[in-house]
């Protein structure tokens, strides 16, 4: 085999190995029963904050801006999106599945169970976790037909009483929008978290085990 052809084979082999390494985390998540709702419905707006520095840690903690959810939870979210589309509205997604190790890092920064689910291990086994670690919770907001966010009581990850669903501090418009989001999500079985207007737990979240599988990196 000519030297140039041999080098080409080696390069192609290395590229295949690299591609497999990049996709293996996604394949592991799929084997665990998680899917990407944005693949089924391209109209979701993704703003995965923990894949950026625009979050309460000030650091990028996810290797990619992708949303993975349990298949049933994803289908319910797709149904919410379809219903909102008829109102010239849609969902922007802030967070979905979160590895347990990331939850531990969050707890070290914000040890307050009103806003961060307390992670616990016993003999190396996860015994307490966030719904996000189960791939059964999602953080979302409403956007208009152009993808612009509607006014809400606070920004995302505002760890104050102003983010509570019953807070009187929000404007009338923000309360209407928050309630509209809550009703749209509840119609598909999502349970709203009282202390965070953006957080919703998927129906049946108790039946999913917490995971510490890594998220895939960007290509």
Tell me the pLDDT tens digit for each residue of 12-42: 343 333 444 457 999 999 999 999 999 999 9
Q: Which residues are catalytic?
A: 196
Cα dihedral 142→69→66→64 (10° resolution):
130
* Domains, in order of start, for the chain: 3-207 (3.30.1380.10)
Cross-strand bridge partners of residue 46: 93
Q: What's the pLDDT tens digit per position in 73-106?
A: 999 999 999 999 999 999 999 999 999 999 999 9
Q: Extract the tokens encoding 104.
A: 């531990």
CA distance 48 to 42: 15
* Residues ≥6 apart with Cβ < 8 Å to 139: 93, 94, 95, 96, 156, 196, 198, 199, 200
Q: How confident is the model at residue 218 (pLDDT cuts 50, 70, 90)?
A: confident
Q: Specify the pTM.
A: 0.87
What is the distance between the terminal CA atoms of the chain, rounded to a whole angstrom? 31
Q: What's the pLDDT tens digit per position in 117-136?
A: 899 999 989 999 999 999 99
CA distance 69 to 206: 14
CA distance 62 to 109: 16
What three-state secondary structure class fits 212?
Answer: coil
The pLDDT of residue 1: 54
Q: What's the pLDDT tens digit per position in 149-170?
A: 999 999 999 999 999 999 999 9
Q: How confident is the model at residue 2 (pLDDT cuts 50, 70, 90)?
A: low
Handedness of CA 128, 133, 134, 140 (dihedral sign): positive
């Amino acid at each position: 085999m000519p030297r140039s052809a041999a080098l080409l084979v080696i390069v192609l082999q290395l590229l295949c190995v690299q591609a497999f390494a990049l996709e293996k985390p996604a394949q592991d998540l799929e084997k665990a029963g998680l899917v990407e709702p944005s693949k089924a419905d391209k109209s979701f707006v993704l703003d995965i904050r923990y894949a950026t520095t625009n979050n309460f840690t000030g650091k990028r903690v996810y290797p990619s801006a992708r949303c993975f959810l349990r298949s049933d939870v994803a289908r319910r979210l797709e149904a919410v999106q379809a219903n909102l589309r008829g109102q010239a509205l849609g969902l922007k997604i802030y967070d979905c599945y979160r590895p347990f190790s990331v939850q531990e890092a969050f707890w070290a920064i914000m040890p307050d169970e009103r806003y961060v689910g307390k992670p616990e291990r016993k003999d190396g086994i996860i015994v307490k976790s966030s719904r996000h670690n189960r791939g059964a919770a999602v953080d979302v907001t409403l956007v208009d037909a152009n993808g612009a966010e509607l006014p809400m009581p606070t920004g995302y990850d505002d760890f104050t009483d102003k983010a509570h669903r019953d807070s009187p501090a929000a404007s009338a418009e923000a309360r209407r929008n928050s309630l509209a989001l809550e009703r749209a999500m509840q119609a598909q079985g999502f349970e709203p978290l009282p202390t965070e207007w953006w957080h919703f737990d998927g129906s049946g979240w108790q039946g999913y085990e917490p995971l510490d599988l890594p998220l895939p990196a960007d290509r």
